[in-house]
Amino acid sequence: MLDHQPAAGELTTEAEPRFPKGFAQPSPATVSPKEIDGALVIDLDTSLKYRDGHVPGAWFAVRAGFAKTIPEMLKKQPQAKRIVLVSPDGEIAAFAAGEAAEAAGGLPVAILAGGMKAWRDAGLAVETGHTHMADPPTDVWYRPYDNKQDVEAAMRQYLEWEVDLVPQVKRDGDANFSVFKP
């Protein structure tokens, strides 16, 4: 298929590198679970995972909206001494720390070392539900059975949408679509 014959040095059986060569992963300040008292805690996992368990009192926020949501959260929690970002393993939080610091108005920003995994491994309590939502839970698609209430209504709504899909495409007029009839 290709005329190129790779030299031995061009081939590898090693895993793909996690980051490109020369990439420097950020290393913001970290705190342990015992050090988050008095902090504005922001969970950066999906809203679905947030709903199923997060640090008690933590806010759900989407990183893209920090410029707006962090000042709003700080108005509701003015006694906060710092901001602590939480993600599943702490890695996403590390990447978001710079943006959070820009929006924090001088308040120190740290990440929870080891993320939510470390929190759970320490046997600490978790809170469930959409308790503190800085952003709406529109970051991921909730399958009908992901809903905690009105599951049957959500399934009906999905089925109505699916059944109406072919007529929707016809009404749109932009797509050339025909129904296959055996």
Tell me, yes or no, whether 58 and 74 share the same domain.
yes
Residue 42 covered by a domain: yes
* DSSP string computed for the chain: --S----GGG---SPPPSS-TT-------EE-GGG-TTEEEEE-S-HHHHHH-B-TTPEE--GGGHHHHHHHHHHHSTT-SEEEEE-SSSHHHHHHHHHHHHHTTT--EEEETTHHHHHHHTT---B-SS-SBSS-S-SS---GGG-SS-HHHHHHHHHHHHHTHHHHHHHH-SS-------
Residue 19 covered by a domain: no
Tell me, yes or no, whether 119 and 164 share the same domain.
no
Tell me, yes or no, whether 38 and 126 share the same domain.
yes
Tell me, yes or no, whether 166 and 76 share the same domain.
no
Q: Count structural domains, the chain.
A: 2
pTM reported for the whole predicted model:
0.77
pLDDT digits (tens, 9 = 90+) for 62-120: 999 999 999 999 999 999 999 999 999 999 999 999 999 999 999 999 999 999 999 99
Tell me, yes or no, whether 136 and 116 share the same domain.
yes
Residue 182 covered by a domain: no
pLDDT digits (tens, 9 = 90+) for 33-56: 989 999 999 999 999 999 999 999
Tell me, yes or no, whether 77 and 124 share the same domain.
yes
Q: In CATH, what number is assigned to the domain containing residue 36?
A: 3.40.250.10
Residue 9 covered by a domain: no
Tell me, yes or no, whether 158 and 117 share the same domain.
no
pLDDT at 66: 96
Residue 76 covered by a domain: yes
Residue 131 sits in which domain range?
25-140
pLDDT at 158: 82
pLDDT at 78: 95
Q: What is the mean pLDDT of residues 15-29?
A: 87
Residue 7 covered by a domain: no
